[in-house]
């Protein structure tokens, strides 16, 4: 009797570097032991990330790459200007409310797009509208914060947990 079972994807991988730019094969993330340390690496359509957990010389292994490798064209400066203008016009210092901007690659248009997605906005918090289709595709999530709020709040940290995207603060 033959088996029709489908093998599940490798969610978390463990590798020893064979070449300097070994591909990332795990569905979530992988650990890579390389000539320059131990790395955690992950990949999505728009970019791949390789971050050192420890920097240590390991003889006999090729070095691992460090940083972000983008798989899409650079984000145009005009997109950042649009976001900045929207943030300045919609949220003055006397009437400030936090906003969340989603930056995502639109597959149909073949370009970077943005969307303001905050709901339940207050001076000190907002909740992203996770019903928006671009919320799932977002690869950069930009939060506006009031002057002096240089760090993500505990609520932000909780909301961001488990997501593979770049988070930033606009003050």
> Tokens 């064209």, residue?
73
The pLDDT, as a whole number, for residue 36 is: 97
Question: Shortest CA distance to 69 belongs to which of 92, 41, 98, 88?
Answer: 41
Sign of torsion over alpha carbons 69, 74, 77, 82: negative
CA angle 118/161/138 to nearest 5° reads: 50
CB 38 within 8 A of CB 52: yes
Segment-wise mean pLDDT, segments of 10 residues, the chain, 171 residues:
75 94 93 98 95 96 96 96 87 71 95 86 61 87 72 58 76 72
CB atoms within 10 A of CB 33: 16
CA angle 2/3/5 to nearest 5° reads: 160
The pLDDT, as a whole number, for residue 148 is: 62
pLDDT digits (tens, 9 = 90+) for 62-86: 999 999 999 999 999 999 999 999 8
Sign of torsion over alpha carbons 147, 148, 154, 156: positive
**What's this model's pTM, rounded to 2 decimal places?**
0.77
The pLDDT, as a whole number, for residue 50 is: 97
Helix (H) or strand (E) holding 74: none
Compute φ and ψ for 113, nearest 5 degrees: -135, 170
The pLDDT, as a whole number, for residue 38 is: 98
Distances (CA, A) of 161 to 30, 51, 75, 124: 18, 17, 25, 19
CA pair distance 50, 148, nearest whole angstrom: 31
Question: Shortest CA distance to 87 belongs to which of 76, 75, 98?
Answer: 98
């Amino acid at each position: 009797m033959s088996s029709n079972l489908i093998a599940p994807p490798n969610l978390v991988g463990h590798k020893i570097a064979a070449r300097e730019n070994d591909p990332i094969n795990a569905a979530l993330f992988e650990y890579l032991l390389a000539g320059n340390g131990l790395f955690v690496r992950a990949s999505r359509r728009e970019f791949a990330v390789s971050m050192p957990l420890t920097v240590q010389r390991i003889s006999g292994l090729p070095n691992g790459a460090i940083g972000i490798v983008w798989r899409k064209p650079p984000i145009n400066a005009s997109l950042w200007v649009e976001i900045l203008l929207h943030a300045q016009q919609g949220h003055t210092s006397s009437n400030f409310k936090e906003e969340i901007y989603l930056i995502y690659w639109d597959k149909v248009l073949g370009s970077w797009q943005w969307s303001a997605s905050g709901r339940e906005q207050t001076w000190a918090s907002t909740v992203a509208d996770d019903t928006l289709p671009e919320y799932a595709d977002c690869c950069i999530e930009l939060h506006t914060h009031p002057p002096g709020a240089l760090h993500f709040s505990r609520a932000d940290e909780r909301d961001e947990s488990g997501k593979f995207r770049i988070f930033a603060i606009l003050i």
